Amino acid sequence: MDRKDRRGAEPTGRPEHKKTEREEHSVLAAKKGADRQQPAEPATAAPAPPAGRPDTGAKNGESAVRPPRRSKAGTTGGQGKKKAKPRSRAKKKPARTRRPLLLALLEATCLTITAVTAIMVLLGLAAERFSGTRFFTSLLPFALGVFGLVVVASLSLFAWLRLRRWLLARSPWLPSVLAVACVAGVGVLVVQGQFYWAFGHFRTLVGGRAEAGRVTLTHQVFAAYRRLDPAQLHTLIARAQPYTRDIDQAAAAFGLDPDLLHGVAATESSFLPRPSSDGGQGLFQLTRVPDEVTALAGRHLGIAPRVDDHRHNGFLAAATLRYYLKQMQNDLFLGLLAYNIGPKNGGLRFIMQQYGAMDFVTIQPYLQQLPRDYPIRVLSHALAFRLYRSEGKLLAYEEGLNAVRIQQLGVPGL
């Protein structure tokens, strides 16, 4: 009985096992078809297992298809999300070298100014002390003084470098502060006029013959100003007030000192614009103006200039003076002299060529007294206008330190 029952049960179990395997294959086929129909991202194929090793991907009825691997950038199959940016590393801040460089530049500039000023003062004092032509009393002592100056400068530089190290050990600001204090002290002495005479001798030492002639003529101007009547000067300044604006504009148009142009008007007409016996007209007593000068003044005015108009007269005078200054290579004394002589007798340039004169000093013996004195009179009046403009009053040349103050202001145009 038992054996028959077993034999009868065996054929019934086998078909059931086969049916289960078919169902599993149909389920897998259905899943594959569903995956093909869905718009899913393509999965990367799993690599084939090596030979001799069973495929463990399909166990217990699971699919042998492995899930797609993620790429290094974190996306599936190289698509989808964008590649993540790497984290930026914090940049190291550069060393702060700007401040030490600025402090060193300030220190070097101040020391250079101090050293150059000291050299000019010492050379000027040496030139005054040892002036002359003798070898043992003038030339040799001056040469030894220059050598001593070089030695002192070298020792001073060495001492400053040692002092600088000591100062830097305490604060990086101390060398620059000390250098600024040095140049400030030098500036105070210069403004107060302590080095004025030394600078004057230094200019004479370097300028030579030309500077010596300029200094001589400049002192002639100072002496002429000293002899002027203060009451007459105040009268001229009061008369000039209505014309000051036009004269200043004319001077600015042709690059001239306005006080110089005031001095020309004061010498020519005393600011009383009326015709003269020699044919001069207006504030500047113009007679014959070169055609190119008239055209140049007309371009600045915008219309054809008229001599009887005060404003036009000033522009014509400024253009004429600039014309003669250019002709005399910007020599102020010769330019004023040429302005006064005008084009008659061929002008000043022809006279200088005729007599072989080279400058204002050598031409004076060949001129009459009036034109020879003309530049000095113009510049002395111009100096008075400069003093009134800068100081608000006229200074007496012989009182106190007024001479030093006036010489520091200088002659207009020089």
Within the chain, how many helices (H) and strands (E) appear?
16, 0
Per-residue pLDDT averaged across 372-379, rounded? 92
Domain boundary among 150, 174, 207: 207
pLDDT value at position 111? Answer: 93
Residue 334 · residue 357 · CB < 8 Å: no
Do 235 and 203 share a structural domain?
no
pLDDT above 90 as % of the chain: 47
Q: Is residue 28 part of a domain?
A: no
Mean pLDDT of 382-399: 94
| CA–CA dist 344, 280 (Å, integer) | 14
Is the CB of residue 200 less than 8 Å from the CB of residue 128? no
Does one domain contain both 384 and 287? yes
CATH label of the domain that carries residue 299: 1.10.530.10
pLDDT, residue 58, reads 45
Q: What is the CB-side half-sphere exposure of residue 250 using CA atoms within 13 A? A: 30
pTM flag (> 0.75):
no
Residue, of 41 and 100, whose pLDDT is higher: 100
Looking at the chain, how many residues does it have? 414
Of 202-216, 293-307, 346-360, which gets the smallest average pLDDT? 202-216
Specify if 172 maps to a domain.
Answer: yes
Distance of alpha carbon 407 from alpha carbon 203, whole angstroms: 14
Are residues 384 and 249 both part of a single domain?
A: yes
The verdict on residue 312 lying in a domain is yes
Residue 46 forms part of a structural domain: no
Nearest residue to 345 (alpha-carbon basis) of 365, 326, 366: 366
The answer as to whether 123 is a domain residue is: yes
Q: Facing residues of 79 across strands?
A: 76
Q: Answer with the residue of higher pLDDT: 372 or 209.
A: 372
Confidence category of residue 40, pLDDT binned at 50, 70, 90: very low
What are the φ/ψ torsions at residue 79 (nearest 5 degrees)? -125, 175
- Residues 110, 242, single domain; the answer is no
The type of residue at 263 is G
Token pair 């530089």 is found at: 157
pLDDT bucket at 2, cuts 50 / 70 / 90: very low
Q: What mean pLDDT is predicted for residues 240-257? A: 96
Last residue of a domain, one of 148, 173, 207: 207
With respect to residue 265, please indicate whether it lies within any of the assigned structural domains.
yes
Give the distance, in angstroms, between the CA of residue 343 and the centroid of all CA atoms in the same chain: 42
pLDDT exceeds cutoff 70 at 81: no
Q: Which is more confident, 10 or 244?
A: 244
Residues 277 and 180 in one domain: no
Based on the structure, what is the number of domains in the chain?
Answer: 2
The reply to whether 296 and 388 lie within a common domain is yes
- Does a structural domain hold residue 180? yes
Query: How far apart are alpha carbons 240 and 360 in whole angstroms?
Result: 29
Q: What is the model's pLDDT at position 400?
A: 87
Q: What is the pLDDT of residues 140-198, one digit of tens each?
A: 999 999 999 999 999 999 999 999 999 999 999 999 999 999 999 988 888 777 787 78
* pLDDT value at 296 more than 80: yes
Distance CA 310, CA 315 (A): 9
The rounded Cα 113 to chain-centroid distance in angstroms is 17
User: What's the pLDDT band for 28 if we cut at 50, 70, 90?
Assistant: low
Is 243 in the same domain as 178?
A: no
Domain of 117, in residue numbers:
101-207
For the cut 70, the answer to whether the pLDDT of residue 371 exceeds it is yes
- Main-chain phi, psi angles of 76, to 5 degrees: -90, 120
**pLDDT-derived band of residue 246, with 50, 70 and 90 as boundaries?**
very high
Higher pLDDT, 370 or 256: 256
Assigned domain for 218 exists? no
Q: Is pLDDT above 70 for 70?
A: no
**Are 241 and 189 contained in the same domain?**
no
Tokens found for residue 247: 């004269």
The DSSP element (H or E) to which 222 belongs, if any, is: helix 209-227
295 and 400 housed in the same domain: yes
Q: 181 and 266, same structural domain?
A: no
* Same domain? 396 vs 256: yes
Q: Are residues 240 and 160 in the same domain?
A: no
Closest CA to 379 of 231, 267, 242, 216: 267
Contacts 24+ apart (CB under 8 A), 313-316: 313/273, 313/281, 313/282, 313/283, 313/284, 313/286, 314/243, 314/246, 314/247, 314/249, 314/250, 314/261, 314/265, 314/283, 314/284, 315/250, 315/253, 316/284, 316/286, 316/289
pLDDT band at 4 (very low <50, low <70, confident <90, very high): very low
Domain boundary, last residue among 207, 242, 259: 207
How many CA atoms does the CB half-sphere of 19 hold within 13 Å?
5
**Binning pLDDT at 50, 70 and 90, where does residue 57 land?**
very low
The predicted model gives 126-147 an average pLDDT of 88
Residue 268 has pLDDT above 80, yes or no: yes
- The residues with which 76 forms a beta bridge, in sequence order, are 70, 79
Each residue's pLDDT tens digit, 85-120: 555 555 555 556 788 899 999 999 999 999 999 999
